[in-house]
């Protein structure tokens, strides 16, 4: 395994842990503290952009065929499962279909950024 390959896989695993932590625990700040309407949706987009970008890069370095499709399916499934089960795992969290939509937007942006990064990396 090349050094760069290990780095992307490690970053993807760290990003997964961070997403798990942020999704299953109480939010570190409330929307009222930030005073920006729907700020949590922006946070979801950014979180899943990073999640999908790092997994796209890790899967690409592993030379998996159709790695963008794998990253897309993995990220959407992961976010949807987390959204469904977070309510059972933390009574202060609740299911929100708009969170899933924000997650999917982040996933799509993550793939776009990964494609662009790979193009300029060559």
Question: Mind listing the pLDDT tens digit for each residue in 22-55?
Answer: 999 888 777 777 888 888 899 999 999 999 999 9
Is residue 85 in a domain?
yes
Task: For residue 78, tell me if it sits in a domain.
Answer: yes
| pLDDT at res. 35 | 81
94 within domain boundaries: yes
Task: Count how many domains the chain has.
Answer: 1
Do residues 44 and 90 make contact, with C-beta atoms less than 8 angstroms apart? no
Question: How far is 89 from 58, CA to CA, in rounded Å?
Answer: 29
Is 32 within the bounds of a domain?
A: no
63-81 b/e (C-beta count within 10 Å ≥ 16 → b):
eeeebbebbbebbbebbee
pLDDT digits (tens, 9 = 90+) for 99-109: 999 999 999 99
3: confidence class by pLDDT, cuts 50, 70, 90: low
Give the residue numbers spanning the domain of 74: 3-26+41-121
pTM strictly above 0.85:
yes
Highest mean predicted confidence (pLDDT) among 35-39, 89-93, 104-108, 116-120: 104-108
Q: Which residue has the higher pLDDT, 17 or 91?
A: 17
Examine residue 35 and state whether it is found in any structural domain, yes or no.
Answer: no
Examine residue 92 and state whether it is found in any structural domain, yes or no: yes
SS3 3: helix
Assigned domain for 31 exists? no
Residues 52 and 72: beta-carbon distance below 8 Å: yes
Does the residue 46 lie in any domain? yes
Token output for 25: 């625990």
């Amino acid at each position: 395994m090349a050094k760069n390959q290990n780095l992307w896989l490690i970053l993807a695993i760290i990003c997964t842990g961070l997403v798990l932590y942020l999704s299953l625990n109480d939010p570190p700040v409330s929307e009222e503290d930030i005073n920006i309407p729907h700020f949590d949706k922006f946070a979801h987009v950014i979180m899943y952009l990073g999640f999908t970008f790092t997994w796209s890069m890790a899967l690409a370095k592993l030379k998996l065929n159709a790695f963008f499709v794998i990253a897309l399916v993995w990220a959407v499934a992961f976010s949807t499962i987390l959204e469904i089960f977070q309510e059972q795992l933390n009574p202060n969290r609740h299911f929100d279909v708009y969170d899933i939509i924000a997650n999917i937007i982040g996933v799509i942006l993550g793939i776009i950024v990964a494609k662009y990064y790979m193009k300029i990396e060559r």
